[in-house]
């Protein structure tokens, strides 16, 4: 998610400029989230479990 065009509700300036504490807090939070910021850790974990289960099923079919 990009925050370049996000406007702060507190100071009405772009969040990326970090003019007020609200801007800076939002900017830090968005930067920490990284490329998977739109996904929750629970969602990522569920995807990982589903992937492992699928691979395990493939392995079982191939050996049977």
Contacts with Zn ion by CB under 5 A lie at 8, 10-11, 20, 22-23
Minimum distance between the CB of residue 35 and Zn ion, rounded to whole angstroms?
Answer: 25
In the complex with Zn ion, the residue whose CB is nearer, 13 or 51, is 13
For the CB of residue 22, give the shortest distance to Zn ion in the complex, in Å: 5
Residue 33 CB, nearest approach to Zn ion (Å): 19
Q: What whole-number distance in Å separates Cα of residue 46 and Cα of residue 42? A: 6
Name the region of 22 (left: φ>0; alpha: ψ -120 to 50; beta: rest): alpha
What kind and span of H or E run contains 48? Answer: helix 41-63
């Amino acid at each position: 998610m990009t925050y370049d065009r996000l406007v702060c509700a507190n100071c009405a300036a772009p969040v990326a400029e970090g003019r007020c504490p609200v801007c800076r807090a939002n900017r830090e939070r968005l930067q920490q989230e990284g490329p998977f910021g739109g996904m929750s850790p629970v969602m990522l974990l569920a995807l990982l479990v589903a992937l492992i289960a699928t691979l395990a099923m493939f392995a079982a079919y191939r050996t049977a």
